[in-house]
Amino acid sequence: MAPRRPSSKLTQYKQLVSVAQSVRRLAHAPFSNFHVGAALLATDGRIYTGCNIENSSYGLTICAERTAVFKAISEGERNFRAIAVISDESGFTPPCGACRQVLMDLAGNIDFIMANAKGEMEIVKLKELLPLAFTPKNLKNPHRS
């Protein structure tokens, strides 16, 4: 049998978008009715999913992106390649400021894939979304893990 060719980045990212699309159905968004799904790709190929989870004390709501990265970190993952995000808006949904900061800190300068209802993608580097970011490197005693 011919050896299996590693799938191209585009194929991988399309798959990531489709995972994000499925997990969006699990969003708990009774207050905004805005459903978001995220799929975070680790360098080892593992995918961690997340959806937004709202709270009646609105400020305690967590976005899909942070759900995904917190799940990954809590499972021991440390190296990431990309995150795909999709909402039920027809256009692309850019991440909020809090998610930009958290992703930069925990996942680094990964590809941020915004997907729309047609399955189209807009891919930007996280650094483009958060230039001149404050990161652990800026701390007096940077942590090393």
Helices and strands in the chain: count of H runs, count of E runs: 4, 5
Rounded to the nearest whole angstrom, what is the least distance from the CB of residue 8 to ligand THU in the complex? 26
Instruction: Return the SS3 of 21.
Output: helix
**Which chain residues interact with ligand THU by CB under 6 A?**
29, 32, 34, 36, 52, 54, 61, 63-65, 85, 93, 95-96, 99
Rounded to the nearest whole angstrom, what is the least distance from the CB of residue 131 to ligand THU in the complex? 18
Nearest to 103 by CA among 74, 77, 142, 130: 130
Rounded to the nearest whole angstrom, what is the least distance from the CB of residue 51 to ligand THU in the complex? 7
**Residue 34 or 134 with smaller CB distance to ligand THU:** 34
Alpha carbon of 91 to those of 20, 22, 38, 121: distances in Å?
Answer: 15, 17, 15, 10
Catalytic residue among 65, 75, 77, 128: 65
